[in-house]
Chains A and B, each alone.
Chain A
Amino acid sequence: MRDAFVIFTHDLKRKVRNEAGQGWVRAPVRPSLTLSILPGILLSATGNRGIIHRSFNHVNSCMLDEARHRPRASHRLLKTNRIPPAETTDRTAHHGGQTQVYPAASFIQSKPRARMEFHYAKEMNGTVPTVTKLSKCIESKHSDSCKEEKDLKEAADSTKLFCIEKAYSTILSELGENTEREGLLRTPLRAAKAMQFFTKGYKETTQAILNDAIFNENHDEMVIVKDIDLFSLCEHHLVPFFGKAHIAYLPNKKVVGLSKLARIVEIFSRRLQVQERLTKQIATAISEALEPAGVAVVIEAVHMCMVMRGVQKMNAKTVTSVMLGTFQNDHRTREEFLSLTLGE
């Protein structure tokens, strides 16, 4: 299977290089004989039959589909002239992006914690680097060169959707359902789109939504936005968890539009998440964007993976919190926040 990959990407490379002067061109699919034979040879060589054979075929074709349309990551990064946003690029860029895009945080005590965050950077749930290209496209809406890339991106998106759809058809039939019955006819497509909606946070960046809504105000009292409904997906079982987020910050000459706090919650929650990481990501994003005197985030959520299956405890809630800056150092500030949000 690895050889098949290499052959394919080599084909892609050759085509793109030939027409490099004309910009990005979608490399036509070459009906390669070796490709069709190789998987068969590999599978027969390993003696896989039956279910495993079926599943690998399925996975193979989808992975090859992706390889066909996958944009060349390195080229894309070179083409952009912006520093990729911190939370969305690959791990190596994360460190650099953190210190270059935003000046050093104003509170020293939180730095060790922030560094601890970077230490676990390889655990950041982030995705393919095409995000940077997309955000550039969003900003330069009227540029023509962007249109081709958008088309390419849409093609890649629809291929991905098709792959997810096929996967869901397999799931339905393996679960023992009749995929031809009326209620299930278009379920794979609907489920694939739903899943894409539930993970749309991967494509969004805090920079894109926050840039316009930071205002200079001479206000240094606590600002709390509470009871923000939150829906996310457990990354271990792919089952929803939902609850409320309460956010507070002590502004330091800069305040942010209130709905932007809720939008930050949306960006990070619409991903495959672990509640602890989600809380930390929200707090870090706010502290980087606003450089406030302190940030506090509390999330209380119900995990369907615990309610619907496994230990099946209906009324259990999970509460996580992150306190940065003054909220961490001064217990009275913290108490004021907790009594205002959770006290009632």
Chain B
Amino acid sequence: MEHSKQTQYSSNEKKDTGDGGSVLNGHFDGMVKRPAGGTVRASAPQPLGAECGSHRSAASVMESWREERTRSVEDNEMSLPSLAAAYTTILRGLGEDPQRQGLLKTPWRAATAMQFFTKGYQEKIIDVLNDAIFDEDHDEMVIVKDIDMFSMCEHHLVPIFGRVHIGYLPNKRVLGLSKLARIVEIYSRRLQVQERLTKQIAVAITEALQPTGVGVVIEATHMCMVMRGVQKMNSKTVTSTMLGVFREDPKTRDEFLTLIRS
């Protein structure tokens, strides 16, 4: 783990200097990996195909915890004017008057809000986790539950919100508890699909700690289903990912599920 961290650092530096030169954020030049669900390109960009996309997305989920930032604070400032212009077009297209008093600065506010809702693209797991992994001789289940989660549906750009429950069985290494919530924040503040979000969180914890097992359960309400479309107010979506002993041993899984329910 130490060794891989070292190599990660050196490759980080390489990528950082590379990133300084590239103009377009989010369009990777072969080195940068995307959040899972996107493609991992080799040095020669290949055309997207549905079949290679899906097989690559599986691979990239497993490696996503090591991914690079696809956006920086400077990129945010530079994209603000075009984001605001896009929102002005949207306001006009909806039939509103962007010059009325309540809407005068709305394009800028909405653009900043949207950048905040996708700030997970600016953050790296490695930055969050590096200092807070401790060696403890503890091998009982650790659960952090009821972590409020807010994400954006990648299909309709409408909020998703709910709760995340995380449990893991440490294998000599434990993680600072708030770091679990920070991992949730990094992955949820993106354009997401709930299934992928669950898996990304679980995989990140697995890769960072190498525990005996990890379980992640998310129950969320999707505004795209409540505010529009089928309009079911009280529906919730529950997804879970069980890795390691949580998957193999039903008793461990039961204990985890009982404890998060109580």
**A residues touching B (Cβ–Cβ < 8 Å)?**
51-52, 54-56, 58-59, 62-63, 66, 122-123, 125, 127-128, 160-161, 163-164, 166-168, 170-178, 180-184, 186-187, 190-192, 194-199, 202-203, 229, 231, 235-240, 242, 272, 274, 304-305, 307-309, 314
Contacts and interface: CB of A to CB of B under 8 A. Distances in A.
Interface of B: 25-28, 34, 37-39, 48, 50, 53-54, 70-71, 75, 78-79, 81-83, 85-97, 100-103, 105-106, 109-110, 113-118, 121, 148, 150, 154-159, 161, 191, 193, 223-224, 226-228, 233
Contacts, number: 202
Contacts of A195: 90, 94
14 contacts: A51-B79, A62-B93, A128-B95, A172-B191, A174-B86, A175-B71, A181-B48, A235-B102, A238-B110, A240-B159, A272-B91, A307-B161, A308-B161, A309-B117
Nearest to B193: A183
Contacts of B70: 176-177
Contacts of A123: 100-102
A184 B37 CA distance: 10
Contact of B85 (A59, A187, A194, A199): A59
A175 B81 contact: no
Contacts of B95: 127-128, 160, 199, 202-203
A147 B176 CA distance: 66
Contacts of A180: 48
B205 to A, nearest CB: 23
Given A58-B89, A177-B191, A242-B227, A127 B156 contact: no
A59 B102 contact: no
Contacts of A314: 148
A184 B90 contact: no
B223 A176 contact: no
B151 to A, nearest CB: 9
Contacts of A160: 93-95
B157 A187 contact: yes
Contacts of A236: 102, 105-106, 109
A240 B223 contact: yes
A62 B89 contact: yes
Nearest to B83: A174
B161 to A, nearest CB: 7
Contacts of B158: 191, 194, 240
Given A58-B85, A183-B155, A238 B113 contact: yes
Contacts of B100: 122-123, 125
A239 B159 contact: yes
B89 A175 contact: no
B99 to A, nearest CB: 11
A125 B102 contact: yes
B110 A176 contact: no
Contacts of A177: 26, 70, 118, 121, 191
A307 B93 contact: no
A175 B35 CA distance: 13
Given A171-B87, A238-B106, 10 more contacts: A51-B78, A55-B85, A167-B89, A167-B90, A174-B79, A182-B53, A190-B156, A194-B158, A203-B95, A308-B159
Instruction: Name the residue in B70, B102, B118 with the highest tally of chain A Cβ atoms < 10 Å from its Cβ.
Output: B102
A18 B161 CA distance: 56
Given A235-B102, A235-B103, A56 B121 contact: no
Given A180-B48, A308-B117, A190 B86 contact: no
Contacts of B39: 178, 181
A129 to B, nearest CB: 10
B159 to A, nearest CB: 6
Nearest to B150: A308
A175 B106 contact: no
Nearest to B106: A236
B94 A52 contact: no
B90 A235 contact: no
A334 B102 CA distance: 31
A27 to B, nearest CB: 21
A1 to B, nearest CB: 13
Nearest to B71: A176
B116 A309 contact: yes
Contacts of A235: 102-103, 106
